Structures are given as C-alpha cells and as structure tokens.
C-alpha cells in the first residue's frame, strides 16, 4: 500500500485502514518528527502493533528512534535513490562559475520554515529577486505567530531578525522562476545560471521545523553545478547527509555549529549570522574562498555521478 501526504491524516484519524499482509510504502515527510523524535503516523502503527514491512523516504537511525524498534521499518537505499537522487544523472554540463550575487534560494510551497527563511533573507538584504524565489504570500501577524510557536518572544527580540518597515509589502509579494514541481530535470536548466552566479545556495529543505533529518534532492542542485550550499533543514541534517550519503561538508569555510541547534528559529538566526561575514566580500574574494573548498566540491560532484553515494546508502540498509 502506497501512503502519500493525502492519506496521512486519514490514517492518523482512523478513517483509512490497512491490511496486515502488505508492505507500507510511506512517501514524503509524513508531517515530520517532534522534539522527542515522535511521528504521529508511526505512533498509529505502533498503537496498532503493525507488523507490516515499512519503507520510508527517511533514513532511519534506530539509535535516535529506538522507540520504534518494534516496527518493521526498513532502510531501503534503492527506494530512496529512485525518489530523491536520480533526477540529475543526465545533467553533465553546467554553466561556468561567474559570481555576481551573494545568495540564491528557491522556495516553493508555503511551509512555516520557508516563511521564516525568506523573511530573514529579506531582512538581511540577501533576498535578490533575480536569484531567490518565493511562490507564496503571508502576513506579518502570521509570521509573528510562527516565531512565537517556537520561542518566547515577548520583547520581539527574534522578530527583529525577520521584519523591517518594508516587510509587509515583501510578505504579500511572490517571485517565481517558472518552477514545475517534481520536474527536476527541467528545473535545473531554469536555475543553473542562478546557482553558478551565486556564492552560496541556501537550500530550503522540506519541513525544516521538524526535528529529524529529511533529505530530498534539493541540495543536489548545487552538487551537480559544482556550487557551495548550506541548508536550512532539520537539526543534524548536514551531519546526517555526510553519514548516510557520504557527501562532505565545507568545513574550511563554514561553521556548522548551527546544525546542532534544535530550535528552528534559533538555528536559522545562527545560520544567517554565521554567513553574514561573507556578504560584503567582492566576487573575486568569493571566488578565492571557493577555491579553498574546490577539492571538496569536486569530491561531491564525483561522489554523485559515480554513484558512490548509493554504496554508502546501501551500507545502512
């Protein structure tokens, strides 16, 4: 039985049932995990003493998720590879690196984490309409509500990192590059110049306010165009990608302490303040920094196109 986002609430609410003799194939992020690494859908399976074989898009760390050890969850590399990693195998030529811009970031669906990300990029002056997309609108009150869901912000301390006098106009606007959902082999051609002309790609990962890493294809847009990236994702995401997929971090340039911060608002503020030191450099200086990490960039590029990442994944099957 294939379970997609549209089935998720039906299963949680008990209006959709499953038989005990068929594999359960779980697509997408399933609503994410809370701070105690609990997921509502897996809790339903646990409550019902589900014995079905379960496949997910998550790479399950059974030490962190030991409370689900009685479920028959399988790490299946080929399943994850087909869904997330095979989109760019025929994309072997990209534009030459030509820095003109600091940050690019591509934000499709209106998840809370994407509202937070585009807001802070705008506040810091890093949201360049030629290089950053935002396919949704919202209000300042909505954003303030999202922030207070995660931090005690009675003095508007954190709000100051996300809002200025022009924010309401920005929040109501949209900016699109002709993104076609799930058509990654097409979208890479729409975005390749934005990636190769930007010093850094801030990956807007799916459901970054969740607490357990969920890895999609988004960071690969930078891998296959030989670019630098950091992700606004779940805590531990970068370390997770290195452990389970084998892609190296750019530790000569970036301080990854933000990656261990559990709170999504605090993690995002730390990420943006960390990269701010690069914002006033010249394109020539950005290029010099790029060269410092060129060995790692080439390693990651070869790691993808050689399929070595798949061998790393299979070790955890």
What is the arithmetic mean of pLDDT over 196-222? Answer: 97
pLDDT tens readout for residues 15-66: 877 777 789 989 899 999 999 999 999 999 999 899 999 999 999 898 889 9
CA dihedral over 169, 166, 232, 43, signed as positive or negative: negative
Categorize the per-residue pLDDT at 11 as very low, low, confident or very high, splitting at 50, 70 and 90.
confident
Dist. CA 127–CA 35, nearest whole Å: 30
Cβ-proximal residues to 124 (8 Å cutoff; 6+ apart), any chain: 272, 276, 279
Dist. CA 227–CA 106, nearest whole Å: 15
Residue 80 pLDDT greater than 90, yes or no: no
Residue 182 pLDDT greater than 70, yes or no: no
Dist. CA 64–CA 31, nearest whole Å: 18
Give the mean pLDDT of the chain: 93
What is the arithmetic mean of pLDDT over 285-289? Answer: 98
Residue 298 pLDDT greater than 80, yes or no: yes
Dist. CA 247–CA 98, nearest whole Å: 24
pLDDT of residue 282: 98
pLDDT of residue 180: 64
Q: Between 152 and 300, where is the model more confident?
A: 300
Dist. CA 114–CA 208, nearest whole Å: 8
pLDDT of residue 179: 67
- If residue 63 lies in a helix (H) or strand (E), which one and from where to where? none
pLDDT of residue 181: 67
What is the arithmetic mean of pLDDT over 222-232? Answer: 98
Categorize the per-residue pLDDT at 177 as very low, low, confident or very high, splitting at 50, 70 and 90.
confident
The partner residues of 72 in beta bridges, in order of sequence, read 53
pLDDT tens readout for residues 122-143: 999 999 999 999 999 999 999 9
Dist. CA 183–CA 44, nearest whole Å: 32
pLDDT of residue 14: 79
Give percent above pLDDT 70 in the chain. Answer: 99
Q: Could you tell me how far CA 317 lies from the centroid of its own chain? A: 22
Categorize the per-residue pLDDT at 154 as very low, low, confident or very high, splitting at 50, 70 and 90.
confident
pLDDT of residue 200: 98
pLDDT of residue 316: 87
Q: What pTM was estimated for this model as a whole?
A: 0.94
How many CB atoms sit inside 10 A of residue 279's CB? Answer: 15
Q: Could you tell me how far CA 42 lies from the centroid of its own chain? A: 22
Contact 52, 18 (CB under 8 A): yes
Phi, psi of 201 (to 5 degrees): -100, 115
pLDDT of residue 20: 76
Dist. CA 156–CA 77, nearest whole Å: 44
């Amino acid at each position: 039985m294939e379970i997609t986002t549209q089935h998720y609430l039906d299963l949680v609410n008990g209006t959709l049932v499953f038989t005990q003799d068929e594999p359960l194939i779980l697509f997408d992020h399933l609503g994410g995990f809370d701070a105690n690494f609990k997921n509502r859908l897996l809790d339903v399976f646990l409550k019902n003493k589900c014995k079905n074989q379960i496949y997910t898009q998550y790479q399950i760390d059974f030490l962190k998720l030991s409370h689900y050890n009685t479920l028959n969850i399988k790490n299946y590399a080929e399943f994850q590879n087909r869904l997330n990693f095979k989109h760019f195998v025929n994309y072997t030529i990209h534009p030459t690196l030509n820095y003109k811009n600091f940050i690019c970031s591509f934000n499709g669906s209106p998840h809370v984490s994407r509202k937070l990300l585009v807001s802070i990029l705008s506040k810091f002056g890093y949201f360049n309409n030629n290089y950053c997309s935002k396919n949704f609108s919202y209000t300042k009150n909505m954003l303030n509500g999202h922030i207070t869901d995660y931090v005690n912000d009675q003095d508007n301390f954190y709000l100051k990192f996300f809002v200025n006098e022009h924010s309401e106009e920005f929040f109501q606007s949209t900016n699109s590059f002709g993104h076609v959902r799930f058509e990654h082999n097409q979208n890479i051609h729409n975005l390749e110049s934005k990636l190769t002309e930007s010093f850094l790609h801030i990956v807007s990962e799916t459901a970054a306010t969740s607490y357990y890493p969920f890895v999609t294809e988004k960071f690969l847009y930078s891998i296959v165009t030989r670019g630098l990236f950091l992700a606004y994702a779940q805590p531990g995401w970068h370390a997770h990608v290195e452990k389970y997929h084998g892609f190296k971090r750019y530790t000569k340039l970036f301080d990854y302490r933000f990656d261990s911060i559990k709170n999504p608002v605090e993690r995002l503020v730390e990420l943006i303040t960390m990269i701010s030191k690069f914002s006033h450099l010249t394109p020539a200086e950005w290029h010099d920094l790029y060269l410092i990490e060129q060995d790692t960039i080439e390693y990651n590029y070869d790691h993808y196109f050689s399929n070595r990442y798949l061998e790393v994944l299979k070790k955890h099957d």
